[in-house]
Amino acid sequence: MSTFALAVHGGAGTIARELMTPAREKAYRDALELALRRGHAVLADGGAALDAVEAAVRVLEDSPHFNAGRGSVFNADGQHEMDASLMRGSDLRAGAVAGVQNVKNPVTLARKVMEHSNHVLISGLGAFEFAHKHKVELEDDQYFFDQFRYEQWKETVGTDVYKLDHSDKEKKFGTVGAVALDRNGDLAAATSTGGMTNKRWQRIGDSPIIGAGTYANNATCAVSCTGHGESFIRAVAAHDVHALMAYQGLSLEEAVRVVVHEKLPPLDGDGGLIAVDRAGHLVLDFNCTGMYRGHVGADGIFHTAIFR
């Protein structure tokens, strides 16, 4: 199979054009393109889709511009709690972590869970112990400190208000993700997030939940979601794209349209998703004003976008 394809996202939401300076837009687009380049290099060399999505998501986790890894938001206690998952479409193997701290690349820890445990999802201190055991790279709190994120948190600390990554004027669901098809016809998906600013009670969203925020199945497609996590969990959004294709025979484009524009809105499910099917067709769709996104195929042409 000569076809391969990759898409990435860096979050979706109410992204105001007037707040998007040229310098800021360039920073976002450069980070998205770098993620695409890392993943594309894996696929072009005949590598596995799972390796490609992990490589792409690691780039976005390393960037302070996105709410994942280094750019993660502060929780109610002024700490960072990160979630991530990935899934391989060939055998439906998956790994996920939730509420992890001081892990530089949570998506890599999720892969360790998939490959070196009998579990799918582990969390909190147990996940940190697992990371230490498997020599996953750790960083101290200062690595994750970002002044912009800190100011966001200071506006809400001591209240019951939580914020979805940016200010009220710019409500962005800060999750990053990637989906890929490799030359062998295998699909994979990965998603990573820092969650909500000022979140309490170790809240967990859709990103580490297989079927909600991440899903991959070689029979149909690979999906990574970004949006209001509670809504995507209730809609089982990622798996629903697969189900509409598998059980109703819908195309990828139509299945994504139904989920994003018909099923999620009644649940207050603002956001979007990226998906690729087994033929290499890519769909990047959202029901809000913008989604940080990019894609590349076997032609090696990199595309990035923010607004519709």
CATH of the domain at 88: 3.60.20.30
How many whole angstroms separate alpha carbon 83 and alpha carbon 103?
A: 10
Name the residues annotated as catalytic.
175
- Average predicted confidence (pLDDT) for the chain: 90
306 Cβ neighbours under 8 A, 6+ residues apart = 15, 20, 25, 28, 29, 290, 291, 292, 293
Rounded-to-5 percentages of helix, strand, coil across the chain = 35, 25, 35
pLDDT per residue as tens digits for the range 96-153: 999 998 899 999 999 999 999 999 999 999 999 999 999 999 887 777 766 666 566 5
> Given CA atoms 177, 179, 182, 186 in this order, what sign does their dihedral have?
positive
pLDDT per residue as tens digits for the range 2-44: 799 999 999 988 777 887 889 989 999 999 999 999 999 999 9
Domain total in the chain: 1
Average pLDDT estimate for 166-179: 68
- Domain of 92 in residue numbering reads as 5-307
Q: Are 171 and 177 in contact (CB under 8 A)?
A: no
Helix 106-116 and helix 124-133, axial crossing angle in degrees, nearest 10: 80
Percent of the chain exceeding pLDDT 90 equals: 71
What is the band of 198 on the pLDDT scale with cuts at 50, 70, 90? Answer: low
